[in-house]
Amino acid sequence: MIYLDNAATTRQKPPQVIDAVVRAMTTMGNAARGAHASSLQASRAIYDARCKLAALLGCPRPDHVVFTTNSTEALNIAINGILSPGDHVISTDLEHNSVLRPLYRLEAGHNVALDFVPADRRGNVDYRDFERLMRPETRAVVCTHGSNLTGNLIDVARVGEIAHRHGALLIVDASQTAGSIPIHMEDMGIDVLCFTGHKGLMGPQGTGGLCIREGVEIRPWKVGGSGVQSYSRTQPEEYPTRLEAGTLNSHGIMGLSAALDFIRDTGVEAIGRHERDLMRRFYDGVSAIEGVTVYGDFSREERGAIVALNIRDYDSGEIADALSQSYDIATRPGAHCAPRMHQALGTVEQGAVRFSFSWYNTREEVDAAVAAVRELAEP
């Protein structure tokens, strides 16, 4: 199979990730649940993973790296734990439903006012709109670092500067960029950075988390076992325990930790460069084919390794099915959980076929995918 659905999950992982999960499942106890060797091994390994993530993402405090099951959970924790009735929040048309639905729910039932920075037909935002939408009661801006549909990036440092100037926090969804695009949350003015472990970070599914700037208070939405302060009726205040009730996915986190070693040794820049080379090669190939429409802005070098396209007025689902059945190429059709982005692009009815590239893809695979699109586009 030629797997080009890496924006959904990277299917191929570094081999040491699998080894680490197996090792964890055969040796590790429960982290923070005792001081015997197996529990301490798990506690140390998880703390080590926090340190690696803090280093990779520019989070000053490893104990402010909180593990969750994915970025949807991280975003729900951040959004619901920061916003209160009467607050105003700004987001963008580029967002995934993992941002949109928590915000819509707060808007509908919890008296939170919500505005969106619109995207144009190329999927770009006008940064002046963030400024325009600010109100005295604006508590936060929630925005993606990179669109999961077009691959367009948002200059989060610029958004952070605007947000902070107006006394608002910046919550960033780095689902599509962590591991492929350099991120430094302190330098970029990010207050809460939400990530998933199974995409660009190349770890197992069921891993993710959030990095929290010192001084940012997030209310926990789940409370329970913490391994400390057991006779207290309330969840411990300290991060990460405050937001990590219950047993962590230590086995998955060990896989993620091994993936972080791989990324550190390989280099985020090198990984991103390889992925973008493939993306650019594919873009150059398909954009020259008659009947193919490519979405997004490819004028900048730095972007997510994603190419979304349609062929004539064909149903995107039919194209993805043909790619799968006739060419054994895995892509993602439809709406990609990004309804506002499709509305901005004018692709609500047709959807789009998304090709997304990873470290493990090759030029030969890209060329085969271009050839398949060319055949399918033949009148």
Partner 1 sequence: MRSKKPALVLAFASTAQALATEKYCQEHQLPGRLIPVPKEITAGCGLAWKAEVEQGEELTRALARAGIQWQEARVLELWA
By CB under 8 A, is residue 33 in contact with partner 1?
Answer: yes
Specify the 3-state DSSP secondary structure of 71: helix
d(CA 331, CA 320): 6
55-84: contacts with partner 1 (CB under 8 A): 62-63
Rounded to a whole number of angstroms, the minimum distance from the CB of residue 326 to partner 1 is: 52
By CB under 8 A, is residue 227 in contact with partner 1?
Answer: yes
With tokens 């979405």, the residue in question is 295
Candidate ranges 16-24, 43-51, 150-158, 259-267; the one touching partner 1 (CB under 8 A): 43-51
Strand partners of residue 356: 5, 306
Nearer to partner 1, 175 or 241 (CB): 241
d(CA 148, CA 348): 15
Sole binder of partner 1 in the list 9, 47, 206, 314 (CB under 8 A): 47
Candidate ranges 45-53, 180-188, 189-197, 267-275; the one touching partner 1 (CB under 8 A): 45-53
Residue 311 phi/psi, 5-degree rounding, is: -110, 120
53 vs 56, 184, 185, 206, 344, CA distance in Å? 5, 11, 11, 16, 34
By CB under 8 A, is residue 245 in contact with partner 1?
Answer: no
d(CA 274, CA 267): 11
Candidate ranges 20-28, 39-47, 213-221, 284-292; the one touching partner 1 (CB under 8 A): 39-47
Rounded to a whole number of angstroms, the minimum distance from the CB of residue 244 to partner 1 is: 10
Candidate ranges 84-92, 115-123, 228-236, 268-276; the one touching partner 1 (CB under 8 A): 228-236
d(CA 356, CA 179): 14
By CB under 8 A, is residue 234 in contact with partner 1?
Answer: no
Nearer to partner 1, 45 or 112 (CB): 45
Sign of CA dihedral 223, 225, 230, 236: negative
With tokens 């150059």, the residue in question is 284
Candidate ranges 206-214, 225-233, 287-295, 301-309; the one touching partner 1 (CB under 8 A): 225-233
Rounded to a whole number of angstroms, the minimum distance from the CB of residue 44 to partner 1 is: 6
Nearer to partner 1, 11 or 33 (CB): 33
DSSP labels, 159-176: HHHHHHHTT-EEEEE-TT
By CB under 8 A, is residue 37 in contact with partner 1?
Answer: no
Nearer to partner 1, 108 or 228 (CB): 228
Nearer to partner 1, 30 or 69 (CB): 30
**Encoding tokens for residue 269?**
């820049």
CA atoms within a 13 Å half-sphere pointing along the CA-CB vector of 108: 6
Nearer to partner 1, 34 or 334 (CB): 34
**Encoding tokens for residue 292?**
């193919």
CA atoms within a 13 Å half-sphere pointing along the CA-CB vector of 329: 26
Q: CA angle, 30 as apex, 29 and 35 as ends, to 5°?
A: 80
By CB under 8 A, is residue 231 in contact with partner 1?
Answer: yes
By CB under 8 A, is residue 164 in contact with partner 1?
Answer: no
Sole binder of partner 1 in the list 67, 239, 355, 359 (CB under 8 A): 239
d(CA 256, CA 240): 18
Candidate ranges 20-28, 31-39, 141-149, 271-279; the one touching partner 1 (CB under 8 A): 31-39
Site for partner 1, rule CB under 8 A: 31-35, 40, 43-44, 47-48, 50-51, 62-63, 227-232, 236, 238-241
